[in-house]
Chains A and B, each alone.
Chain A
Amino acid sequence: GIQVEQSPPDLILQEGANSTLRCNFSDSVNNLQWFHQNPWGQLINLFYIPSGTKQNGRLSATTVATERYSLLYISSSQTTDSGVYFCAVRPGNQFYFGTGTSLTVIP
Chain B
Amino acid sequence: EAGVTQFPSHSVIEKGQTVTLRCDPISGHDNLYWYRRVMGKEIKFLLHFVKESKQDESGMPNNRFLAERTGGTYSTLKVQPAELEDSGVYFCASSQKINYGYTFGSGTRLTVV
Contact = CB atoms under 8 A, between A and B. Distances in A.
Interface of A: 30-31, 33, 35, 40-45, 48, 86, 88, 93-100
Given A93-B98, A97-B43, A98-B42, A41 B89 contact: yes
B101 A45 contact: yes
A44 to B, nearest CB: 8
A41 B91 CA distance: 10
Interface in B54-113: 55-56, 58-59, 89, 91, 98-107, 109
A98 B100 CA distance: 20
Contact of A33 (B41, B91, B102, B105): B102
A86 B43 CA distance: 9
A43 B104 contact: yes
Contacts of A41: 89, 106-107, 109
26 contacts: A30-B99, A31-B99, A35-B104, A40-B106, A41-B89, A41-B106, A42-B107, A43-B91, A43-B104, A43-B105, A43-B106, A43-B107, A44-B104, A45-B102, A93-B98, A94-B48, A94-B56, A94-B58, A94-B59, A95-B35, A95-B43, A95-B45, A95-B102, A96-B45, A98-B42, A99-B41
Nearest to A42: B106
Contacts of A94: 33, 45, 48, 56, 58-59
A56 to B, nearest CB: 13
Nearest to B43: A97
For the complex of A and B, the 6 pairs showing the least CB-CB separation, nearest first, are: A48-B101, A94-B45, A97-B43, A43-B104, A42-B106, A99-B42
A7 to B, nearest CB: 14
Q: Which of A45, A86, A94 has the most CB of B within 10 A?
A: A94
B101 A31 contact: yes
A32 to B, nearest CB: 10
B42 A93 contact: no
Contacts of B58: 94
